[in-house]
Structures are given as C-alpha cells and as structure tokens.
Amino acid sequence: MFIYFLAILGVLLYFILKHKHSYWTRRKIVQEKPRFLLGSVDKRIFKSGNPTQFVRDAYWNLKKKGVKHGGMYLFYTPIWIPIDLNLIKQILVTDYESFSSHGLYHHKNDFISENIFTKEGEEWKTLRSNLSPTFTPAKLKTMYDILYNFGHHLEAQIADSCSKRQAIRIRETTASYLTDVIAACFFGIEADRLKETKREFEHYGNVITQPRPLRLLLESLLSWNLLVSLGYNFFPKKVTHFFSKLIKEAVDAKERNNLKIRVRKDYLDIVMQLMKDGGHFSFEEVVANSTFMYIAGYETSTSALSYLMFELAKNQDVQNKLRSEILSIGNNNAKGEITYEDLSKMKYADMCITEILRCYPALPQLPRACTKEYRIPGTDQIIEKGTLTLIPIWAIQNDPDYFRNPTKFDPENMSSENKNSNVEDAWFAFGYGPRLCLGYKFAAMQIKIALLNYLRNYKYTLNDKTPENLTFDYDTILLCPA
C-alpha cells in the first residue's frame, strides 16, 4: 500500500508540475518549451544564477515564430518576454503605471537594499524627486573639476606604464580612476583621506560586485519577508557597516567645515542639505543611495570604458578620429585645457559611447514587475499582477533588423543620418521612460574625461595576450567580460 501511495503521489506531483509549465499556454501566449524542473533554463543556471543567455535565446526563438511577445520559465516562475518595440515602449512609457517596479529585492528591515533602483510606487517617486536636482547640468558642472583633477592621476598612471614599457591593464587603470571619482563625489572623501581608505574602499567594492548566484536565486524564488525573517541581508553586514561608517565620517567632517560644503557642492553636500531641509532624507537613505551610486557608477562605467578602449585598440581608424576630435578641442584653448562646456562639443565621443553601450549594455536585460493586472493591447491576453517581465536589451541592440552590422563596433550607427531610423526605437542602454537612469549624464561625463586622458597623448593597440573576441561572465547581472 505504501508503494502504491508513493506512486500515486509521484504521478500527482508530475502532473501538478506539468500544469505549472503550461501557465503561458493556458493564457494563449506562446512559450519556450520548458524542461522538467528547470523550465526554460538548463543546469548552467546553477553556476551563474543569471538568466541573460536564456533571455537572449528566448528573444531569437520567439522572433522566429513571428510573435510580438512570449513566455519562459525560471524553474517554475513564469517570465514574460516582450520583443516588439512598440509593445516595449508602451510598457515603459504609456502603460508605465502597470510596470512601475523593477521587481528586485528590497525590504525596509534591510535598509541598504532600499535605493532608487529597487524602490517602488510613491516612495520611488518621492526619492526620485529628491535626488533629481543632484544631476542637473549646473550641479554636474560643480563636480567637473573633481573629475578633471582625478583624470590627471589617470594620465600619470599611463605615463608610468609607458616609461616602464609595460602593457596597460585597462580595466584596472579605469577602475582605479572611477574609484577615486566616486569616493570623492558620492562619499565626500577628500584626496588626502582617499589615500588611506582607497584599498579598503576597493576591497568592499569588490565584495559588492562579486558573483551572487545563490542570492539571486533565493530572491527570485522565495518571499522577501521570509528571507528577512530568516536573517537574510542584501549585502554582508561588514559591507553595510563600512559604508555607513564612511558616510558618517564624511558627514561629520563636512559639518565641521561649512566653507568646504559651500565650495565643493558634490553629491554628498547636496543630500546632506536634504537631510536638513525638513527631514526629506534620513541617514539610512543617504547610505543606501550612496552605496547604490557606487555600484551603478563604478561597475557599469568601468565596463563601458574598458570595452570602448578595447574596441578603439582594434579599430585604429575610429581611435584616430576620436583623438583628432579631442586634440582639436584642446588646441582651441590657450592652455590646452578642456572645460565642462567643451564636453558638449565632443560629438564623435558621444557616438562612440552610445555605440559601445549598444554593443555591450551594462544591464543586458531590463527587469520589470507587473504591478497591476495588464491586458496586452489589441488582445484578450492578461499579464497577472506580480509577473516578472524581462526586456531583452542586449538581443534587441544586436538585432540586424535595427542596426547594420550589429556584431561590429561602428560609431557611424549613431550618426545623425542613422540615429533617427534605429537608436530612438531600439536603444535602451540607460533604460527608458520615467525610470530612465538618473545618473546617465554623470556617467557620460566621467567617461569623456577618462577618454581625454587616455587619448590626448597616447595611442593604443591590443596586447598579444588580449583576445580578439570577448567571452562574458554570466555570474553577475551585469554584462562583464570573462
């Protein structure tokens, strides 16, 4: 009898699981053929926890079937994949209120997880409203000198490598420059203090950006309330303690020196003012959002700039054209210096940056969660509240239907002649709609300043040890080279 019972139970479980994998079919939505237990993914997901490669596969498979959207499964979790550009724009703009959440883990009892990228609804709107003034052109101009001075340090590193006839590890030099910039602008660390804390800062920064496949799986499969009740933390407690201590020391130092607050006007100066003006900002919010700015500004810009230097080394004609633009702008100034206003004249640099983000978007798929029941336009198909949606940015931006020679780095893709026909519809590297990346102008500024110092006095070729074609590390949610 016990054996019969187990057999019946096994058959029943099989059909229950089979039923779960018919979720999209029952809603008359085309789906990727699921595997038993794994869904649309395979065993590689246990090594990375990142669905990037499976989302790309789903995009191409669904497009071959001629549909505008479809479904896949992360184990037994249904994921909706929109692929039609008009539908995607409707989701991100017109019907934004139905997809206003990124659907990523955050919890009020784990305060460092509560930042502008993860928050939702009215809380997000309030936070966005408070932080938006920190990235206006006027505020960026006040931070320009900080970035420009650190650019000279970057150029000194290159000169040292050249004098020693050493190959440049482009990601390391880029990361060092961006660590200086972000530590100064988002954590208020002065240059003399930075020398003492840089190694520790970089250590905890590396801890933050370490692959976290198990955590990603737990956050996608389990209730966040359950996770927190079990003692789960978004980052290790040492990370939260370090950045909290760093912010407190910086805030205390600035309050002791009011003159410096008026002079520098960096990001931390501005959010400190928000803390004072009627309590719009708590200390915990400052820590959470400063830490997020580090993650967003450091890793994404490091990758973008490293990819760009890699492609410039491979494409000498592009490198020469970009150098000519930089030298031309510098020659127009008496001291050869490039001002904040000069950055807007770097049109070819803009094309190069936009193109590199097309080829290698930092976030290969844009997450959204359905925040209220959504009827797909022109159909009777319903997307249920809570359904995770992944917009396959990397696949779209490498689709030959939208970009000529999409697998080749070609800044002319972003020329005024070509831009109107493709970029405005199929380029999502900074997101789109109300949740467009708040700091994208800051990111462009720090990349341009780095390019000035990389290219003003030097030319680059690939080292013999550098592969012509990159492979990628799928252990993080960002698109990083292996």
Reported as a single tens digit per residue, the pLDDT across 10-24 is 667 666 777 788 889
pLDDT (0 to 100) of residue 424:
66
For residue 352, say whether it is annotated as part of any ligand binding site: no
Rounded mean pLDDT, 452-479: 87
CATH number, position 356: 1.10.630.10
| Average pLDDT of every residue of the chain | 84
Instruction: Please check whether residue 442 lies inside any domain of the structure.
Output: yes
Distance, in Å, from the CA atom of 120 to the CA atom of 101, rounded to the nearest integer, reads 5
Instruction: Please check whether residue 257 lies inside any domain of the structure.
Output: yes
Q: Is the pLDDT of residue 243 over 50?
A: yes
Q: Is the pLDDT of residue 460 over 90?
A: yes
Instruction: Please check whether residue 52 lies inside any domain of the structure.
Output: yes
pLDDT (0 to 100) of residue 260:
47
**pLDDT tens string 367-422:** 999 999 999 998 999 999 999 999 999 999 999 988 888 989 999 988 887 766 65
Rounded mean pLDDT, 275-303: 81
Q: How confident is the model at residue 445 (pLDDT cuts 50, 70, 90)?
A: very high
Q: Is the pLDDT of residue 470 over 50?
A: yes
Domain span at 16: 1-456
Instruction: Please check whether residue 463 lies inside any domain of the structure.
Output: no
Higher per-residue pLDDT: 7 or 20: 20
* Segments in 36-98 forming alpha helices (H): 45-48, 52-64, 85-89
Higher per-residue pLDDT: 475 or 146: 146
Q: Mapping DSSP to helix (H, G, I), strand (E, B) and coil, where does residue 69 land?
A: strand
pLDDT (0 to 100) of residue 187:
80
Q: In total, how many domains does the chain have?
A: 1
Higher per-residue pLDDT: 481 or 431: 431
Contact 281, 130 (CB under 8 A): yes
Q: Which residue has the tokens 């237990």?
A: 37
**pLDDT tens string 47-80:** 555 667 888 889 999 999 999 999 988 877 899 9
Instruction: Please check whether residue 176 lies inside any domain of the structure.
Output: yes
450-475 core/surface letters (b: 16 or more CB in 10 A; e: else): bbbbbbbeeebeeeeeeeeeeebebb
C-alpha distances out from residue 276 to 143, 244, 258, 281, 457, Å:
21, 18, 14, 8, 45
Instruction: Please check whether residue 461 lies inside any domain of the structure.
Output: no
User: How many angstroms from the chain centroid is the CA of residue 154?
Assistant: 23
pLDDT (0 to 100) of residue 477:
72
Instruction: Please check whether residue 157 lies inside any domain of the structure.
Output: yes
Nearest to 448 by CA among 336, 325, 364, 363: 325
Q: Is the pLDDT of residue 46 over 60?
A: no
Rounded mean pLDDT, 460-472: 90
pLDDT (0 to 100) of residue 133:
81
> Which tokens belong to 233?
């933390």
Q: Is the pLDDT of residue 211 over 70?
A: no
Contact 397, 333 (CB under 8 A): no
pLDDT (0 to 100) of residue 321:
97
Rounded mean pLDDT, 178-196: 77
pLDDT (0 to 100) of residue 48:
52
Instruction: Please check whether residue 82 lies inside any domain of the structure.
Output: yes
Query: Of all helices (H) and strands (E), which one includes residue 481?
Result: strand 480-481
Lowest-confidence segment of 83-87, 300-304, 420-424, 427-431 by average pLDDT: 420-424
Rounded mean pLDDT, 100-122: 88
Burial class (CB in 10 A: 0-12, 13-18, 19+), 250: buried
Rounded mean pLDDT, 31-46: 70
pLDDT (0 to 100) of residue 95:
92
pLDDT (0 to 100) of residue 258:
62
pTM above 0.85, yes or no: yes
pLDDT (0 to 100) of residue 420:
61
